[in-house]
Amino acid sequence: MVQLHELIFRDAHQSLLATRMRTEDMLPICETIDQVGFFSFEVWGGATFDVPIRYLNEDPWTRLKTLKEAMPNTPLQMLERAMNIVAYRNFPDDIVKPFIRLAKKNGCDNFRIFDALNDMRNMKVPIETVKDVGGHAQGCICYTISPVHTVDKFVDDLLTLEKMGCDSVCIKDMAGMIFPKEAYGIIKGYKDAGGGVPIDLHTHSTSGMEGLSYQRAAEAGCDILDTAISPISGGTAGPPTESIVQAFKGTEWDTGYDIDLLMECRDYFLKIWDKYRHLHRMKAIRPDPSVTVHQIPGGMLSNLVSQLEQQDAGDKYLEVLAETPRVRAELGYPPLVTPTSQVVGVQAVMNVLFGRWKVIPNETKQYVRGFYGQSPAPISEEVYKMVLGDNWKDEVIDCRPADMIEPQYDHFKGVLEEEAVWKDREEDIITTAIYPEVGLKFLKGEAQPEFISEQLPLDKDHPLTRGMVKSFFPELPDVYLEIDPPEARKVGGPAQIPTEFDVEVNGEPFEVKVTPTGGFVVSEGGPAAPGGKPTGDVEGGVKSPMQGNMWKIKVAVGDTVEEGQVLAILEVMKMEQDVKAEKAGEVKEIFINEGDPVKKGECIMQIL
């Protein structure tokens, strides 16, 4: 017999509907789902914490509690990113521990714990805490393909997780690229080596091989397979629950689940799927077997495309595709899952645009210093030197990264008291610690839901749809963004006219601005423009090396600065990029505010 772990309330709608399903969409079907007898049901964690407070004006803790009350018979599970919890940076133990305790209290029974680098030191505290509060700890390894990620290595890691006290173990194939042979090999290897707790295989339908992989996994003795009820399955989501149940019917792996109940669920979720039709993407539903060749997860590929487009370098796509495995090897083969996929991807883009290891974002430096955890393969001395300089040994840590972080619990409790939103509810402290800005805005009641339920389903050319699709799926202009917004359909509507161009006249670059009256302003270097921003070269001007947003300005007018001092930090492709002083001097003028967009070559400040 195999059992199923159901994904429709977390991974499935995160993969296909931008995590937009609401509690009200879930509740009417809970009683039916609760009768199926799933091994566990994933309802929380991952993006289901961030999206509700950011976009839906919903409290994630309340959702969890409500779902538990509606499904008392089904173990509810969350996806927990070890010391990153439900975000992408490390938190101290005094945030991780209460988070898990409160999740358990509000109705989470099972915790699937994983670390992007499979660093067991990052998983230890979460696993122990789950055990302390009486939960089910599922230790999870991220599946990836590299010379150091052998079947034997994965088997060893799974056995280690079992020794650490896990109640079950899991292979997490987040990119949907596990081959049937490897699925069989790892599970059989674990069982043959005496692995004694249930083993679970999590995959996505990306490659199109998932049915074969599940068959081979079952043959190897796999205990649990991850699936999603069919209307929100397939493609970048998981394999369809009903199909897997039917495929195993009458075999030694028969789940014993009632197909009529599941068909009832299917009918219900067809309506939910339709309600969110403004988020449907053909590309996400189709299999993409190319992942079995280049091994780069789909989400990472589309990020690379949009990041290159932001830097006006869309034509460098193939070079970046070739550079990515090179960077990954130099960084010790991290699995490509957030946040390490971001580090590898952006570094590959930087290497192609500016020369190899010439421009290095702070996140790459932190990774190399060991602040994400230990790299799967050692990093060479040459790479250490290129990234951190000759004194690299002073900067590299060999302890658990979270040991370097100060406690935060009391600080964030203080923040809530100061902001007068402290309601004697510990959950709010954790929400604020994990998402300081968005969390506080939500708790103050200032969060605006992006649309209200009565507006659904939205027209596919509704402006809200366009904004959301644009921010969430920048890679897909072909589906939605070609559809004109209603206000721009009028001929000559302002939204359609670009107002700034970089043009070349006789080989000289000119910046051309089109004013709203239709006249041209052509500027050719020279002093500051009336708006206060210089339009050309300024003596002692510090220029932005790339396009991004101004994240932090570290100096003020009148400050004297040293050569090499960090003047400002740009946010480029969601990563931090230092802007340093090329020579010593005094800050005479600053032309950009924090939060402003910055173009490549734009003058940030003047230093004389």
Binding residues vs Co ion (CB under 5 A): 11, 174
- Smallest gap from Cβ 95 to Co ion, in A, equals 24
- Smallest gap from Cβ 241 to Co ion, in A, equals 15
Q: Which residues of 517-534 are buried (b: 16+ CB within 10 A; e: fewer)?
A: eeeeeeeeeeeeeeeeeb
In terms of CB distance, is 42 or 511 closer to Co ion? 42
**Residues near 203 by beta carbon (within 8 Å), at least 6 away in sequence:** 173, 176, 178, 183, 210, 213, 214, 226, 238, 239
In terms of CB distance, is 269 or 591 closer to Co ion? 269
In terms of CB distance, is 11 or 93 closer to Co ion? 11
In terms of CB distance, is 7 or 581 closer to Co ion? 7
User: Token pair for residue 329?
Assistant: 């090897």
In terms of CB distance, is 110 or 431 closer to Co ion? 110
Cβ atoms of residues 172 and 202 within 8 Å: yes
- Smallest gap from Cβ 253 to Co ion, in A, equals 22
Q: What is the 3-state secondary structure (H, E, C) of 364-383?
A: HHHHHHCCCCCCCCCCCHHH
In terms of CB distance, is 227 or 577 closer to Co ion? 227
In terms of CB distance, is 142 or 447 closer to Co ion? 142
**Residues near 492 by beta carbon (within 8 Å), at least 6 away in sequence:** none
C-alpha distances in angstroms, 52 versus 102, 426, 450? 18, 18, 10
In terms of CB distance, is 17 or 592 closer to Co ion? 17
Amino acid found at 327: V
Q: What is the CA radius of gyration of the chain?
A: 26
β pairing state of 575-580 and 566-572:
antiparallel
- Smallest gap from Cβ 204 to Co ion, in A, equals 6
In terms of CB distance, is 303 or 535 closer to Co ion? 303
Closest residue to Co ion, judged by C-beta, is: 11
- d(C-alpha 438, C-alpha 344), whole Å: 27
β pairing state of 110-113 and 76-80:
parallel
- Smallest gap from Cβ 243 to Co ion, in A, equals 18
- Smallest gap from Cβ 288 to Co ion, in A, equals 15
- Smallest gap from Cβ 286 to Co ion, in A, equals 18
Indicate the DSSP class of residue 480: I
- Smallest gap from Cβ 205 to Co ion, in A, equals 11
- Smallest gap from Cβ 192 to Co ion, in A, equals 27
Question: What percentage of the chain's residues is helix, strand, coil (to nearest 5)?
Answer: 45, 15, 40
β pairing state of 40-45 and 3-6:
parallel
C-alpha distances in angstroms, 590 versus 95, 533, 583? 38, 9, 16
β pairing state of 76-80 and 40-45:
parallel
- d(C-alpha 185, C-alpha 385), whole Å: 38
β pairing state of 224-227 and 199-202:
parallel
User: Token pair for residue 87?
Assistant: 């975000």
- d(C-alpha 218, C-alpha 231), whole Å: 24
In terms of CB distance, is 183 or 349 closer to Co ion? 183
- Smallest gap from Cβ 174 to Co ion, in A, equals 5
- Smallest gap from Cβ 111 to Co ion, in A, equals 15
In terms of CB distance, is 29 or 174 closer to Co ion? 174
- Smallest gap from Cβ 173 to Co ion, in A, equals 8
Nearest to 375 by CA among 118, 54, 194: 118
- Smallest gap from Cβ 57 to Co ion, in A, equals 26
**Residues near 474 by beta carbon (within 8 Å), at least 6 away in sequence:** 302, 306, 309
Residue 572 three-state SS: strand
- Other C-beta atoms closer than 10 Å to the C-beta of 117 total 23
Residue 154 three-state SS: helix
In terms of CB distance, is 140 or 320 closer to Co ion? 140
In terms of CB distance, is 299 or 332 closer to Co ion? 299
